[in-house]
Chains A and B, each alone.
Chain A
Amino acid sequence: EAQVTQNPRYLITVTGKKLTVTCSQNMNHEYMSWYRQDPGLGLRQIYYSMNVEVTDKGDVPEGYKVSRKEKRNFPLILESPSPNQTSLYFCASVIAVGGYNEQFFGPGTRLTVL
Protein backbone atom coordinates (compact mmCIF):
# COMPACT_ATOMS: atom_id res chain seq x y z
CA GLU A 1 0.00 0.00 0.00
CA ALA A 2 1.34 3.41 -1.02
CA GLN A 3 1.74 5.52 2.06
CA VAL A 4 3.58 8.18 4.02
CA THR A 5 4.29 7.32 7.63
CA GLN A 6 5.27 9.66 10.44
CA ASN A 7 6.51 8.89 13.91
CA PRO A 8 5.70 9.66 16.58
CA ARG A 9 2.06 10.60 16.08
CA TYR A 10 1.91 12.43 19.40
CA LEU A 11 4.74 13.88 21.45
CA ILE A 12 4.89 16.02 24.55
CA THR A 13 8.34 17.31 25.37
CA VAL A 14 10.08 20.10 27.22
CA THR A 15 11.87 23.19 26.00
CA GLY A 16 15.37 22.51 24.74
CA LYS A 17 15.20 18.74 24.47
CA LYS A 18 16.24 17.74 20.96
CA LEU A 19 13.76 15.66 19.03
CA THR A 20 13.33 14.11 15.61
CA VAL A 21 10.12 13.39 13.79
CA THR A 22 10.59 10.73 11.18
CA CYS A 23 8.88 10.60 7.80
CA SER A 24 9.05 7.76 5.34
CA GLN A 25 7.41 7.14 1.96
CA ASN A 26 7.28 3.99 -0.14
CA MET A 27 6.31 5.56 -3.46
CA ASN A 28 9.82 6.38 -4.68
CA HIS A 29 8.93 10.08 -4.95
CA GLU A 30 11.72 12.56 -5.41
CA TYR A 31 10.02 15.48 -3.69
CA MET A 32 9.16 15.58 -0.01
CA SER A 33 8.00 18.39 2.26
CA TRP A 34 7.36 19.30 5.86
CA TYR A 35 4.52 21.56 6.98
CA ARG A 36 3.18 22.85 10.24
CA GLN A 37 -0.45 23.66 10.76
CA ASP A 38 -1.65 26.14 13.36
CA PRO A 39 -5.16 27.47 13.99
CA GLY A 40 -5.82 30.52 11.86
CA LEU A 41 -2.53 30.15 9.97
CA GLY A 42 -3.19 27.20 7.72
CA LEU A 43 -0.40 24.91 6.57
CA ARG A 44 2.97 26.56 6.26
CA GLN A 45 5.89 24.91 4.53
CA ILE A 46 8.96 24.42 6.71
CA TYR A 47 11.40 22.68 4.35
CA TYR A 48 11.22 20.70 1.18
CA SER A 49 13.52 18.36 -0.66
CA MET A 50 13.81 17.86 -4.39
CA ASN A 51 15.94 14.71 -4.11
CA VAL A 52 18.59 13.01 -2.01
CA GLU A 53 20.92 15.57 -0.45
CA VAL A 54 18.94 18.45 -2.00
CA THR A 55 16.84 20.50 0.41
CA ASP A 56 15.58 24.06 0.55
CA LYS A 57 13.82 26.33 2.98
CA GLY A 58 10.11 26.84 2.89
CA ASP A 59 8.36 29.78 4.49
CA VAL A 60 9.04 29.03 8.17
CA PRO A 61 12.37 27.18 8.47
CA GLU A 62 13.65 28.86 11.65
CA GLY A 63 14.26 26.40 14.46
CA TYR A 64 14.12 23.33 12.23
CA LYS A 65 16.59 21.16 10.36
CA VAL A 66 16.05 18.42 7.84
CA SER A 67 18.15 15.84 6.08
CA ARG A 68 17.62 13.67 3.02
CA LYS A 69 20.22 10.96 3.06
CA GLU A 70 18.02 8.47 1.27
CA LYS A 71 15.04 8.88 -0.98
CA ARG A 72 12.42 7.34 1.26
CA ASN A 73 13.20 9.24 4.48
CA PHE A 74 12.95 12.91 5.33
CA PRO A 75 13.30 13.49 9.08
CA LEU A 76 12.49 16.79 10.75
CA ILE A 77 14.84 17.78 13.53
CA LEU A 78 14.18 20.27 16.29
CA GLU A 79 17.54 20.89 17.94
CA SER A 80 16.16 23.01 20.78
CA PRO A 81 12.37 23.00 20.73
CA SER A 82 10.49 25.98 22.12
CA PRO A 83 6.81 26.37 23.05
CA ASN A 84 6.09 28.29 19.82
CA GLN A 85 6.88 25.09 17.93
CA THR A 86 3.86 23.43 19.46
CA SER A 87 1.89 22.52 16.39
CA LEU A 88 0.49 19.83 14.12
CA TYR A 89 3.17 18.69 11.69
CA PHE A 90 2.58 17.03 8.34
CA CYS A 91 5.07 15.37 6.08
CA ALA A 92 4.23 15.05 2.39
CA SER A 93 5.62 13.08 -0.49
CA VAL A 94 5.07 14.63 -3.90
CA ILE A 95 4.62 13.06 -7.27
CA ALA A 96 5.45 15.45 -10.08
CA VAL A 97 5.26 13.83 -13.49
CA GLY A 98 4.73 15.86 -16.62
CA GLY A 99 2.00 18.31 -15.74
CA TYR A 100 0.65 16.20 -12.89
CA ASN A 101 1.43 17.06 -9.29
CA GLU A 102 -0.02 15.57 -6.12
CA GLN A 103 1.07 15.72 -2.52
CA PHE A 104 0.48 12.66 -0.35
CA PHE A 105 0.42 13.56 3.31
CA GLY A 106 1.31 11.52 6.33
CA PRO A 107 -1.18 11.28 9.20
CA GLY A 108 0.39 14.14 11.15
CA THR A 109 2.40 14.51 14.34
CA ARG A 110 0.92 16.53 17.15
CA LEU A 111 3.78 18.10 19.09
CA THR A 112 3.48 19.93 22.38
CA VAL A 113 6.52 21.73 23.79
CA LEU A 114 6.18 22.72 27.44
Chain B
Amino acid sequence: RKEVEQDPGPFNVPEGATVAFNCTYSNSASQSFFWYRQDCRKEPKLLMSVYSSGNEDGRFTAQLNRASQYISLLIRDSKLSDSATYLCVVNRGTNAGKSTFGDGTTLTVKP
Protein backbone atom coordinates (compact mmCIF):
# COMPACT_ATOMS: atom_id res chain seq x y z
CA ARG B 1 0.00 0.00 0.00
CA LYS B 2 1.30 3.44 -0.89
CA GLU B 3 2.00 5.83 1.94
CA VAL B 4 -0.13 8.53 0.32
CA GLU B 5 -3.01 7.58 -1.95
CA GLN B 6 -5.18 9.74 -4.13
CA ASP B 7 -8.00 9.00 -6.52
CA PRO B 8 -6.24 9.53 -9.87
CA GLY B 9 -9.40 10.62 -11.65
CA PRO B 10 -9.57 12.11 -14.15
CA PHE B 11 -12.30 14.39 -12.95
CA ASN B 12 -14.07 16.09 -15.82
CA VAL B 13 -16.46 18.79 -14.64
CA PRO B 14 -18.29 21.74 -16.18
CA GLU B 15 -17.44 25.28 -15.27
CA GLY B 16 -19.10 26.31 -12.06
CA ALA B 17 -19.20 22.82 -10.60
CA THR B 18 -18.03 21.89 -7.14
CA VAL B 19 -15.48 19.11 -7.02
CA ALA B 20 -13.84 17.33 -4.10
CA PHE B 21 -10.62 15.36 -3.93
CA ASN B 22 -9.62 13.00 -1.17
CA CYS B 23 -6.26 11.77 -0.08
CA THR B 24 -5.40 9.13 2.51
CA TYR B 25 -2.12 8.61 4.30
CA SER B 26 -0.91 5.56 6.13
CA ASN B 27 1.75 6.89 8.50
CA SER B 28 0.08 8.07 11.68
CA ALA B 29 3.25 9.98 12.58
CA SER B 30 2.67 12.36 9.68
CA GLN B 31 2.75 15.92 10.89
CA SER B 32 2.04 18.34 8.11
CA PHE B 33 -0.11 18.23 5.02
CA PHE B 34 -0.38 20.19 1.82
CA TRP B 35 -2.05 20.44 -1.54
CA TYR B 36 0.15 21.33 -4.50
CA ARG B 37 -0.94 22.08 -8.02
CA GLN B 38 0.96 20.95 -11.10
CA ASP B 39 0.23 22.13 -14.63
CA CYS B 40 1.13 19.81 -17.48
CA ARG B 41 4.54 18.51 -16.27
CA LYS B 42 5.64 21.90 -15.04
CA GLU B 43 6.94 22.34 -11.53
CA PRO B 44 4.47 21.82 -8.67
CA LYS B 45 3.39 24.90 -6.73
CA LEU B 46 1.88 25.14 -3.29
CA LEU B 47 -1.88 25.59 -3.40
CA MET B 48 -2.50 25.50 0.33
CA SER B 49 -1.39 23.99 3.57
CA VAL B 50 -3.92 21.86 5.43
CA TYR B 51 -4.52 22.58 9.08
CA SER B 52 -6.34 20.51 11.66
CA SER B 53 -9.04 23.12 11.99
CA GLY B 54 -9.58 23.22 8.24
CA ASN B 55 -8.78 26.23 6.15
CA GLU B 56 -10.24 28.15 3.26
CA ASP B 57 -8.69 30.28 0.57
CA GLY B 58 -11.25 31.78 -1.74
CA ARG B 59 -12.92 28.97 -3.63
CA PHE B 60 -10.67 26.34 -2.10
CA THR B 61 -11.26 24.56 1.20
CA ALA B 62 -8.94 22.00 2.74
CA GLN B 63 -9.81 19.66 5.57
CA LEU B 64 -7.77 17.25 7.65
CA ASN B 65 -9.16 14.28 9.53
CA ARG B 66 -6.36 12.85 11.64
CA ALA B 67 -8.48 10.09 13.13
CA SER B 68 -9.31 8.69 9.70
CA GLN B 69 -6.00 9.81 8.20
CA TYR B 70 -7.37 11.62 5.23
CA ILE B 71 -7.15 15.05 3.68
CA SER B 72 -9.63 16.66 1.36
CA LEU B 73 -9.67 19.54 -1.07
CA LEU B 74 -12.93 21.15 -2.18
CA ILE B 75 -13.05 23.48 -5.15
CA ARG B 76 -16.19 25.55 -5.55
CA ASP B 77 -17.33 27.35 -8.69
CA SER B 78 -14.71 25.64 -10.87
CA LYS B 79 -12.94 27.75 -13.48
CA LEU B 80 -11.28 26.64 -16.68
CA SER B 81 -8.00 27.74 -15.14
CA ASP B 82 -8.43 25.19 -12.34
CA SER B 83 -7.62 22.42 -14.82
CA ALA B 84 -4.45 20.83 -13.48
CA THR B 85 -3.17 17.92 -11.44
CA TYR B 86 -3.59 18.29 -7.69
CA LEU B 87 -0.97 16.63 -5.52
CA CYS B 88 -1.47 15.65 -1.91
CA VAL B 89 1.74 15.96 0.11
CA VAL B 90 2.51 14.63 3.57
CA ASN B 91 5.55 15.42 5.68
CA ARG B 92 6.61 12.73 8.06
CA GLY B 93 7.44 13.75 11.60
CA THR B 94 8.70 17.24 12.12
CA ASN B 95 11.33 16.94 9.44
CA ALA B 96 10.53 19.62 6.95
CA GLY B 97 12.64 17.95 4.31
CA LYS B 98 11.10 14.49 4.20
CA SER B 99 8.00 14.53 2.04
CA THR B 100 5.78 12.00 0.34
CA PHE B 101 3.64 12.95 -2.62
CA GLY B 102 0.51 11.27 -3.80
CA ASP B 103 0.33 10.41 -7.49
CA GLY B 104 -2.02 13.30 -8.12
CA THR B 105 -5.61 13.80 -9.19
CA THR B 106 -6.21 15.26 -12.62
CA LEU B 107 -8.98 17.81 -13.01
CA THR B 108 -10.32 19.08 -16.31
CA VAL B 109 -12.86 21.87 -16.19
CA LYS B 110 -14.84 22.20 -19.41
CA PRO B 111 -16.83 25.16 -20.73
Interface residue ranges, A against B (CB under 8 Å): 31-33, 35, 37, 40-45, 48-50, 56, 58-59, 88, 90, 94, 96, 99-103, 105-108
Contact = CB atoms under 8 A, between A and B. Distances in A.
Interface stretch (B14-22, B58-66, B92-100): B92-100
Interface of B: 32, 34, 36, 41-46, 49, 87, 89, 91, 95-104
A114 B99 CA distance: 30
Nearest to B36: A103
Contacts of A105: 43-45
Contacts of B87: 42-43
Given A49-B97, A101-B49, A42 B41 contact: no
Given A40-B103, A42-B87, A101 B34 contact: yes
Contacts of A41: 103
A7 to B, nearest CB: 14
Contacts of A33: 97, 99
Given A31-B96, A94-B96, A101-B96, A43 B101 contact: yes
A96 B98 CA distance: 12
A49 B96 CA distance: 10
B53 to A, nearest CB: 12
A32 B97 CA distance: 7
13 contacts: A33-B99, A42-B102, A44-B101, A45-B100, A50-B97, A58-B98, A96-B96, A102-B46, A103-B44, A103-B89, A107-B42, A108-B42, A108-B43
